[in-house]
Structure 1
Amino acid sequence: MTAPLRRCLTPVVAVLAALAIVAGPTPAMAAPTNPTPSGHEEDDEPPLITDVLDAANRGYLKAKAKLAKSKRRQLQLALEINAARAELDALRPQVGQIAAQSYRTGRVGVLAMLLESNTPDTFVQRAAGLDELNLVNAQKLAAANAAKTRAEQAKLALDAEVREQQKQANAMAREKAEAEKALKLVGGRGFTGGLVSATSPVARIGPGRTADGGWTAESRTAKDPTTSGYITPRTLHAYKEVRRAGFDRFAGCYRPGGPWEHPKGRACDWSLQKSGFAPWHNNDMRMYGNNVAAFLIRNADRLGIYYVIWNRQIWFPATGWRSYSGPSNHTDHVHMSML
Structure 2
Amino acid sequence: MPTVATVRPAARTAALICAALALAVGAALVPAPAAAAPGDVGDEGGTPALRAQLEAASKGYLDAKAALDRSVKRQKQLAGQLTTTESQLAERGSKVAEIAAQAYRSGRLSAASALLNSASPAGFMDRAAALDAVAANEERALGELRATRDEVSRTKQALDREVQEQRKQVAVMAKRKDQAEQALTVANERAEAAQRAERAPTRAGGSSPRAAPAPRNANGSWPAESCSVNDPTPANGCITPRTLHALKQAKSAGFTRYVSCYRSGGSGEHPKGRACDFAAQKNGFGGAATGGDRTYGNNLAAYFVNNADRLAVLYVIWYKQIWLPSSGWKTYSGARGDPSSDHTNHVHLSVY
TM-score category by the smaller chain? 0.3 to 0.5
Higher relative contact order (CA 8 A, sep 6+): 2
Larger Rg: 1
